[in-house]
Amino acid sequence: MIENRIIIYSFSQIASKIAITLREKKYNVLIVEDDEDLAQEAKKSGFETKTLSLMEDENIIELGLDKDHIKAFFCLGNNKNTNLFITLSVRNLNKDIKIISLSSTKEDNKTLLLAGANKTINPYEIGALRIFRSLHKPIIQDILDNILFSSSNIEIAEFTIQKDSIFNGIYLEDLKKIHKKNIIILGIQDKELSDKFIFFSTGINHKIDAGDTIVMLGFDHDLQDFKKLISKII
């Protein structure tokens, strides 16, 4: 079994960019492409590549996409209908796998989510919103870039609370008191309530249970310290 395995369907322009970024983040990337030329290109870029069409269920099973050990599947073909078809096929074979599909309009987003994608990526939307922020709120844009994409020392991190963690059962407000380090708690996702993210700033003093995930901002080393603290067992 290969750790941190990610399968990417297609080696389109955006797919190649995503593959490269994921490889930089130490993921194990497999490219599946039915076009000979693009497959060759992927091989040249140093990716493990398979020339296969995913329109057949047998091929999806051959890749092991029906098993749970694969971290995520990206469906990034240039054809909208093929993407829909493959998204639906993979979801049909594996209920739990994380599927991220390429879309180009808001309407596509909806159909892809309906077909079983967990997340859609619309480069036009992402690009346009970035331009929008650059014009509307350039300072926020810089800070977000710093936190999210650059290698600056401020990071965003998430920690899931384990059953035997010392944080199990305490309130968010108290969490701040326990840990006075230079960390900002953004919010929490409660597994019981829904998958909706609750921002800390809404003012609700939430009780932390096992399985909840806390999201925070901070300097890299502070976050590391916090991680040690959070995994402490009572």
Residues contributing to the site for other proteins (CB under 8 A):
6, 13-14, 17-18, 20-22, 25, 27, 71-72, 74, 98, 100, 104-105, 119, 121-132, 134-137, 139-140, 142-144, 146-149, 154, 156-158, 182-187, 189, 195, 197, 199-203, 213, 215, 217-219
Query: Is the CB of 171 or the CB of 199 nearer to other proteins?
Result: 199
Question: Please, how many CA atoms are within 13 Å of residue 209, restricted to the half-sphere of its CB?
Answer: 7
What backbone torsions phi and psi does residue 82 show, to the nearest 5 degrees?
A: -60, -45
Query: Is the CB of 58 or the CB of 180 nearer to other proteins?
Result: 180
Minimum Å distance from CB 81 to other proteins? Answer: 17
Going from the C-alpha of 185 to that of each of 88, 161, 162, 206, the distances in angstroms are 37, 14, 18, 12
Question: Using an 8 Å Cβ cutoff, are 123 and 14 in contact?
Answer: yes
Mutual orientation of helices 13-24 and 36-44 as an angle, nearest 10°?
Answer: 30
Output the CA torsion sign for 189, 211, 110, 63: positive
Query: Is the CB of 81 or the CB of 202 nearer to other proteins?
Result: 202
Alpha-carbon gap, residue 54 to 121, rounded angstroms:
20
Minimum Å distance from CB 226 to other proteins? Answer: 13
Query: Is the CB of 57 or the CB of 179 nearer to other proteins?
Result: 179
DSSP-derived letter for residue 171 is: B
Minimum Å distance from CB 80 to other proteins? Answer: 12
Minimum Å distance from CB 146 to other proteins? Answer: 7
Query: Is the CB of 113 or the CB of 144 nearer to other proteins?
Result: 144
Minimum Å distance from CB 233 to other proteins? Answer: 23
